Structure 1
Amino acid sequence: MNWKDTRLKWIPENYENVSVVHLGPDKVWKPDIMVYNSLQHFDYEMTDVGLVSSGLIWWVPPVNLHTSCELDWTYWPWDYQKCRLLVGSWTKTGWELDITTISGANISNVDRDNFVPGAWDIVSGIQQRIEITAYKDNFVELQVDFVLQRRSFLDKKVAVLPLLVSCCLILSAFWIHPSSTARLRLNLAAVGVLVITLLAHRSFLPSAGGQMPMIVAMTTGLVVLAVVQLAVILSLANLVSRTDSPSMRFLAPLQMISPFLCLGNLPLIGQVPASIVPPWSRGADDTENLQPDLPKLQGWNLIAQAVDRLMFIVYTVIVFFFLVSYIGAASANFNAKTGNN
């Protein structure tokens, strides 16, 4: 900070052309400038001040400042936070002590040339001179607004990668035959990954205050989808084991929409064709005419496959909606944070 004291002017030619001197901080008057919303404020006040022959005084003490900001965790870990510092005289009114920015303008950008980002990066910084009238007095303060961006690459990996893996596991389970135990194991693996992810989020995020992060809401939603899928898996497994035949009222519509739902004897869609014997299912003494005992695509198998296709479409739309809403909302949050400045 700098200020001017006309009582400390001198003519350099009268003092061997000395135009700048350094004085101890206790030798001159200093303004009581403080950060109003600081939690801890430590100034190294014993640093010298620079006095120019024109009466201009420069004092740049190192400052260790701790303040608090109201954080919005909704878009964690792609969050942008807005923090505000209020700087002004602790005891003097605007008539006694006026405050301006270094450039002298009422609104200016914060100088970030020497800023080294750590866990947070400063996206923008605006400082503004504010005049406040209270108790018939005029008070002047500087309002400094920062928009901060989280830079933790690890948080983004921990938050997103397990969700993508879980989505793939949940969606791929619909392409396994309902009677296969691999489908149940795949669903339980997805549930396990999601539960562990929720526990990991619990360790990263605060336990009180703020909004629920969208990533946590998305993880919780995927857990619900996985549990619903588990119920569907058990229901379809019982359905395909039935020995009776369903009514033609159910089969006729499925025959009409089967091309749209990809119903048929194709690999990875329903069941493996009876004419194909996978190499891992053959024994040493097997012959070419030995075929696995596979369920036919008819009756309850056809209905189960149709349910799988419909559930796959619904789940794909829901997962896509989750991802688009999360990415779109995070982008809108960035525009809102920077646009309000």
Structure 2
Amino acid sequence: MGVRLLLALCAVHAVHLVHPAVGADSCDSKLRPRSPQNELRDHLLCNYDFNRAALSTYEKNVTSASQFVVLNSIDYIEWGSRKEAIINTLQNWTWYDVRLIWNPNSYHGISSIWLDPQRIWTPDAMFVDLMESLEFAGGRCRVTSAGHVTCSATSAPRVACEAHLASWPHDGATCTLYQVAGDMALEKLDLNLDSEDAASKFSSAGYRPNRMWKLLKVDIEVLARGDDRRISSVLFLFRLQRRSALYGVIFLLPALVLPVLTLATYWVDPGSPARMRICCVDIFTHVYQLQALGYELPTGAECPRIILYYRDSMLAAGFTMLVAVVLQWLSSEAGDPPSWCARAASWLADRRYMRALLLVSGGDRSSPLEGREDVSPGEIAAADRSADANPHAWKLVIHIADRILFLAFASVYSILLLVRVL
């Protein structure tokens, strides 16, 4: 029994030697090397209670802590309807602790020392979303003889973001990060981040840009409470914008090419099979682009305008195919066009400004045999009667209809591009 008791005491003694911070800090330093730094460290941590908040002054029961936030990177994540971001920051905290004051002359002129942040009081500031506390790196707290403490902390909270999908792929997102003082520090900890100098205590100089998202702006809002304007929380708003180069090639470039394909059909001969083939390719491309957008677009409350653009453009392409079918049938019609239709076409063709606008030739309807010496007047009249019954009697009407529809749809596409895409 005596041997077991002796071994147990030796084990406890070894644990205290290896982990001196277990339990209360011991003031006995006989077994430690007697260097000036160790003497000072033993003096400062003797009977030090790190669970008790540091006081800036003995008279005022308030701890004033100031932070300088350095933004390292933002990782934006799209999980279906959930939009989140991981904010990686480095925070430099400074405060005064009257329990860590000493006279440098009593300790070989030492004016500063490094202490383990796990053995002294550190600000209990956390982020609201996951209630994630700061992680103060070991051995990174520098204390001066005046009680001025400087510590560095890293944090990577996952925060919720609000997506603005209306202008996709030029859309953006706003990520909100709340930082509050935890536990009893809500009443005692003054974060010392005034509204006037909030921006000066935040830096994004070392920010590592994201391949898909661009950081536009960071807004900082200090939420104070009470008559003494103590800070209870700090609001960070990170405003991001999507880098649209990749999506611009995939979706915006076809949005500019498809109107050209649709409008080009009005310059193809209605009787040619090529016109119907172009219309079929145009419709198929619209359907393919809409399906691709359905896979690529993130879900959200807003409907992107590019979806509405492709929808309207596909309706225009469908109407163009219907016009192609009707004009192809009319081009093979052997009868005469209605009198009002023929008169309207002739009137438009006879006006110089309308010819320039519609790009049609004049209304010269003279016989192709007229003026030839080897042809008799009877043959010219017979040719005229044959022309009246010719299937090409609809040619001028179809030609003018194509030009009018071309100008109409060119105007429609110009409005759609300005409203939906640009």
- Larger % of strand: which? 2
* Residue aligned with 1:69, SS: strand
Instruction: Trace 1:238-277 onto structure 2 (pairs within 5 A).
Output: 238-258=329-349, 259=355, 260-264=357-361
How far residue 84 of structure 1 moved from its aligned partner, in angstroms, is: 2.1
Distance between the aligned counterparts of 1:30 and 1:303, measured in 2?
86
Distance between the aligned counterparts of 1:218 and 1:204, measured in 2?
16
Give the match for residue 394 of structure 2. Answer: 300
2:177 to 69, 72, 85: 85
* Residue aligned with 2:152, SS: coil
Give the match for residue 317 of structure 1. Answer: 411
How far residue 327 of structure 1 moved from its aligned partner, in angstroms, is: 5.3
Q: Larger radius of gyration, structure 1 or 2?
A: 2
Q: Does 1:21 align with 2:113?
A: yes
2:215 to 122, 128, 134: 122
**CA displacement, residues 27-66 of structure 1 (integer Å, 9 cap, x when unaligned):** 111222112135x847544533222333222222222221
Give the match for residue 227 of structure 1. Answer: 318
Structure 1 gaps, min length 5: 266-273, 275-295, 329-341
**CA displacement, residues 251-290 of structure 1 (integer Å, 9 cap, x when unaligned):** 222233331211239xxxxxxxx9xxxxxxxxxxxxxxxx
Counterpart contact for 1:108–1:128, Cα < 8 Å: no
Counterpart contact for 2:305–2:421, Cα < 8 Å: no
TM-score (norm. length: structure 1): 0.77
2:271 to 176, 179, 182: 179
After superposing the two structures, state which structure 1 stretch, 11-20 or 116-125, moved more. 11-20
Instruction: Trace 1:191-210 onto structure 2 (pairs within 5 A).
Output: 191-206=283-298, 208-210=299-301
Counterpart contact for 1:47–1:61, Cα < 8 Å: no
Distance between the aligned counterparts of 1:44 and 1:152, measured in 2?
36
Distance between the aligned counterparts of 2:206 and 2:146, measured in 1?
28
Superposition CA RMSD, Å: 2.7
Give the match for residue 8 of structure 2. Answer: none
The residue type paired with residue 314 of structure 1 is: A
Distance between the aligned counterparts of 2:280 and 2:124, measured in 1?
63
How far residue 123 of structure 1 moved from its aligned partner, in angstroms, is: 1.2
Structure 2 gaps, min length 5: 1-92, 350-354, 363-367, 369-389
Distance between the aligned counterparts of 2:411 and 2:192, measured in 1?
55
* Residue aligned with 2:236, SS: strand
The residue type paired with residue 99 of structure 2 is: R
Counterpart contact for 1:73–1:213, Cα < 8 Å: yes
The residue type paired with residue 169 of structure 2 is: P
Distance between the aligned counterparts of 1:61 and 1:195, measured in 2?
52
Counterpart contact for 1:25–1:47, Cα < 8 Å: yes
Counterpart contact for 2:126–2:133, Cα < 8 Å: no
* Residue aligned with 2:360, SS: coil
The residue type paired with residue 309 of structure 2 is: M
TM-score (norm. length: structure 2): 0.63
The residue type paired with residue 406 of structure 2 is: F
Distance between the aligned counterparts of 1:61 and 1:297, measured in 2?
86
Counterpart contact for 1:106–1:129, Cα < 8 Å: no
Distance between the aligned counterparts of 2:277 and 2:110, measured in 1?
84
Give the match for residue 124 of structure 2. Answer: 32
How far residue 324 of structure 1 moved from its aligned partner, in angstroms, is: 1.3
The residue type paired with residue 214 of structure 1 is: R
* Residue aligned with 2:278, SS: helix
* Residue aligned with 1:60, SS: strand
How far residue 25 of structure 1 moved from its aligned partner, in angstroms, is: 2.1
After superposing the two structures, state which structure 1 stretch, 298-307 or 121-130, moved more. 298-307
Give the match for residue 69 of structure 1. Answer: 161
Counterpart contact for 1:173–1:186, Cα < 8 Å: yes
Counterpart contact for 2:100–2:145, Cα < 8 Å: yes
Distance between the aligned counterparts of 1:148 and 1:75, measured in 2?
13
Per chain length, whose mean CA-contact separation is higher, i.e. which structure has more relative contact order (CA < 8 Å, sep 6+)?
1
